[in-house]
Chain A
């Protein structure tokens, strides 16, 4: 590892480390203060905190009037991202296999279509779906948003799973077919275990992207009963007379912690996707 990522020992590395530290300071500052401000007291014009408190976390045990209950919102968010993830995983692991290995009509067309769809701006979908939901009166339900979000993530998922299936050696399937297993059986018990890293990566990506999704729930399901954390938080953010920025940050940290944990545990899987890219 050390040899691979370091081209030479002839050059000292401290200049680049210090340069990078300087440009990374704004980011570090933001994240460090995000944590600090949620557990400390600070005078309005001070840079450093002057005392410890858990008061900013009071939203956990009391509900602000007019706002949704935080636990209800958290459950909604969890439900939203979990359902989206399962749907994306199930559908794209099947479709990816078909596009990688099976001969279906219009395969090339489908592949190109998936690639092109990935380039579609989500604002198009939001406007049209908003109007349609209004027309048929299904506005403000979580199921609609889940389906839409899953559909938006599908092109990337299919494309990614196809890439993972492509790396599985043909011999595995040949052996299975020769032994008399059906192609479905071969996929389920021989090929699927081979693409576990892909499933992990896509699952995590999908979960994180669902967890952070803002614009879809904001437009299609803004009601208090179906609110998710991003919409809940954006409600604070839009409020220009931010009466309690620290509590607001505590909600933010509460929302961020699952993401950080998932990232810390599985970042090597995630790199595959973020390297290949997602929108934004």
Chain B
């Protein structure tokens, strides 16, 4: 008993470690990332506080006065400015007087600062006033602060008297790193784009599943069933080609067929039609090809499952039916199809999950286009998080979208485990030493 258990643990350890590290952990991390607003804009490590133009826009809607104040330059008579004035080579008394009388003062506008400078004992000329005031021009905009405290003290020295709450609001709006949020999920729930993608996905899964993974696969299996073995195995071989062909080549072949320099264009050119990109021409065409491209791959699995199930039907049933004068259609209707119930259910269940998760072919063929016509959920998640033409990769939102798929996948597969009677798979071992 003991030794078998220990051996078992040792032998299963590598699998457990690999699955936990490279499979389970990423899934958990996806859940974590989905609760953040991580993106290329925020970076993936912590951020800084910076009053950038876009944070001012955010502030403007909540606190218009403060946003306006932050955006304006202020005139602060500080040491750095005084040093700069000394370096201008003006009359020596100006800097000394400024330091003595006005150090530490802050003027909200240029005009006020310049009025003060004009009133100095030295009476600088207008040109000099401009030059001097320029040295005290201080703006919080576009300066980086490593911490909240630095940001607040900078705001204080600029004479912006904010309450603690206002400061926190400013800090939140100017933080450039990522923060925890549930916005991703509310965006998924409310955005019309997401609804569109969801609809696309439902349509895609339904079309490919019924037309090809089940329908056409059943047709292939029945056709090859009624064939001599040699052609039957040739045709099964042909229909397995899409599955074994690396996806990049497979899609390349379709593009060769459907592009504006492709086979269909050349063929139609012979009949006087101008060449065009049949793949991305219209949304309908794109859908047609997306369904075909994915369907041709999906048909093979169903074909194999159904073929082997048909082989298991006792020959005597066919012979008996023929003696009774059954037509081929009657054989299919009354002998084959009723016995295909479980294989069909299995293929449907299994392929629903596969189709929900698959996006390689669509990515390579149409990349979701034209427009967003063929954007399916998994592809949209990929686009949002890793390949976005707008340039801002929204890791958090993408992770949230991926998480939706995980939830659907887990729910469905637990359901399937029930349907296919999981208990029978876990019989107890016979030897215990």
> Chain A residues in contact with chain B, CB under 8 A?
1-8, 10-11, 13, 16-17, 19-20, 24, 26-31, 33-34, 37, 44-47, 87, 90-92, 94-95, 97-105, 107-108, 110-112, 114-132, 134-135, 147-148, 150-152, 154-155, 158, 170, 173-174, 177, 182-184, 187, 208, 211-212, 214-215, 219, 229-230, 233-234, 237, 242, 245, 248-249, 252, 255-256, 259-260, 263, 267, 270-271, 274-275, 277-280
Contact = CB atoms under 8 A, between A and B. Distances in A.
Contact of A129 (B22, B248, B322): B22
Q: Is the interface of B mostly helix, strand, loop or mixed?
A: helix
A10 B322 contact: yes
Contact of A135 (B45, B238, B266): B45
B245 interface: yes
Nearest to A174: B431
A28 B18 contact: no
A105 B2 CA distance: 12
Question: Chain A contact residues: over half helix, strand or loop, or mixed?
Answer: helix
A117 B27 CA distance: 10
B38 A131 contact: yes
A123 B263 CA distance: 33
Interface stretch (B85-93, B94-102, B164-172, B224-232): B224-232
Contacts of B49: none
B249 A233 contact: yes
A274 to B, nearest CB: 6
Given A111-B426, A125-B23, A3 B315 contact: yes
Contact of B433 (A4, A177, A237): A177
A150 B23 CA distance: 10
Nearest to A173: B431
Interface string B241-260: 11111111101111111010
A134 B385 CA distance: 13
Given A45-B266, A147-B22, A230-B247, A131 B11 contact: no
B283 to A, nearest CB: 19
Contacts of B241: 27, 31
Contacts of B247: 212, 214, 230, 280
29 contacts: A5-B232, A13-B226, A13-B228, A24-B239, A33-B263, A101-B429, A103-B5, A104-B5, A116-B417, A119-B409, A119-B412, A120-B357, A123-B405, A125-B22, A128-B33, A128-B399, A151-B21, A152-B22, A183-B3, A183-B433, A211-B246, A215-B363, A229-B248, A230-B247, A233-B252, A249-B252, A252-B249, A279-B354, A280-B297
A94 B266 contact: no
B229 A6 contact: yes
Contacts of A6: 226-229
Interface string B2-22: 011101110110111011011
A186 to B, nearest CB: 9
Nearest to A107: B426
Contacts of B232: 5
A116 B19 contact: no
Nearest to A7: B318
Given A45-B266, A119-B353, A125-B26, A8 B410 contact: no
A102 B249 contact: no
B152 to A, nearest CB: 29
Interface string B275-318: 00000000000000000000011101100110010010001001
B409 A128 contact: no
A121 B29 contact: no
A215 B288 CA distance: 23
B413 interface: yes
A20 B357 contact: no
Contact of B244 (A29, A129, A208, A255): A208
A127 B33 contact: yes
Interface of B: 1, 3-5, 7-9, 11-12, 14-16, 18-19, 21-27, 29-30, 33, 38, 44-45, 220, 223-229, 231-232, 235, 237-249, 251-257, 259, 261, 263, 266-267, 269-270, 296-298, 300-301, 304-305, 308, 311, 315, 318-319, 322, 328, 331, 350-351, 353-354, 356-361, 363-364, 378, 381-382, 385-386, 395, 398-399, 402-403, 405-406, 409-410, 412-414, 417, 422, 425-426, 428-433
A183 B4 contact: yes
Contacts of A118: 413
B428 A121 contact: no
A259 B244 contact: yes
Contact of A121 (B226, B239, B405): B405
Contacts of B403: 124
Contacts of A110: 12, 16
B376 to A, nearest CB: 11
Given A95-B14, A259-B244, A275-B304, A128 B414 contact: no
